[in-house]
Amino acid sequence: MSLYRTELRRLGKRRFTRWAALLGLLVLGAVLVGVFFTNQKIGPDQQAAAQRQAEQQYQEQARWAEQERAACERAKASGEDQSEGRYPPDCAMIEGPPRESIQAEWFLPSTFDFKSGFEGTIVTFTAILAVIGFVVGASFVGAEWSSGGMMNLLLWRPRRLTVLMTKLAALLTGLVALTVAAAVVWTAGFWLVGSLRGSTAKMTSGVWQSFALTGLRGLVLIVVAATIGFALASLGRHTAMALGGAIGLTVVGQFGVGILLAMAGTRFIEAWLLPTYAMAWLQKKVTLEDYQACNATYYGECKPDTLILTWQHASVLLTVGLVAALGAALVTMRRRDIA
């Protein structure tokens, strides 16, 4: 019997895998439904309602300005003390805003534009499935170690590294299949949201290609997260090793480091945090700004210092993390006793 097919069957039959996958899909479905019901299509009725609200806002601002100007004139006429600076020296300076300053677009309801909004949903999709992949990957091998199943399996197939890598290959195959299937449904669902609750205009082949590349980078991130979870659980021979490491990295390595760097006045604190590199990987680049520094332009404008992190920077970090975790797991598997 093929070890690979056996591991695939074992992965699919594990209740934790099924429940974790179902939970992830339910969360994705909740996000999709939430976006559907919080957006609506913009038509003549919505445009007219927005125009009425803009006009109403303008009238309210104009009435307020007239009332304040009249109060200013009465205060001036009565000789009221103006040392507190409640009113300007000339009451005529109190004027309402010009009509064109209040735009009807401000009062339009939320609408989902597929071209500008779908890429952001890929980030959400990737984050949810990366967490599911990490947990399932850790549980898949961690449960084998803690239950003694790994020892029994090695009696049947004594090649340690082959067994571990075959188990990882089965995990990634199932995860990629789930991700691709969910991504197709996710894209179709948001296309439906755009059609019924927004707009799907201006979609060109270049836009679709950009979405596909972002989705591919998201798939890579999901695979890396699952592999690292798998490797950490194999290192500690227990699922808790991976989950504890993830919690420790999040609480100590992210929040703790962020607080310490902020207290030390470090510039570009986000450059030391892992989520920044995940965003740089997905969005191709992230621009960090230091508002404590001011670079005066020729026109006297003050601009903060910036630091650009690209997907190339993120790829180095992902590669180092993946090689370190998986390499350590393989070395440990080869050298340590199985007991």
Tell me how far apart the alpha carbons of residues 143 and 81 are, in angstroms, rounded to a whole number: 80
- pLDDT value of residue 94: 79
Judge contact between 283 and 310, C-beta under 8 A: no
- pLDDT value of residue 173: 94
- pLDDT value of residue 55: 82
- pLDDT value of residue 298: 47
Strand pairing partners for 199?
Answer: 113
Q: Which residues in the chain show pLDDT less than 50?
A: 298
The Cβ of residue 155 has, within 10 Å, a number of other Cβ atoms equal to 8
Tell me how far apart the alpha carbons of residues 277 and 218 are, in angstroms, rounded to a whole number: 13
Which residues, at least 6 apart from 287, have a Cβ–Cβ distance to it below 8 Å? 306, 307, 308
Judge contact between 133 and 223, C-beta under 8 A: yes
Residue 113 in 3-state DSSP?
Answer: strand
Tell me how far apart the alpha carbons of residues 198 and 217 are, in angstroms, rounded to a whole number: 27
Judge contact between 242 and 140, C-beta under 8 A: no
- pLDDT value of residue 312: 92
Residue 293 in 3-state DSSP?
Answer: strand
- pLDDT value of residue 33: 94
- Print the SS3 string covering 274-307: HHHHHHHHHHCEEEEEEEEEEEECCCCCEEEEEE
- pLDDT value of residue 193: 94
- pLDDT value of residue 151: 67
pLDDT in tens, 139-185: 888 777 766 666 666 666 667 788 888 889 999 999 999 999 999 99
pTM of the prediction?
0.81
309 membership: H or E segment, kind and range: strand 302-310
Residue 290 in 3-state DSSP?
Answer: strand
C-alpha distances in angstroms, 262 versus 119, 258, 270?
31, 6, 10
- pLDDT value of residue 154: 65
145 membership: H or E segment, kind and range: helix 114-147
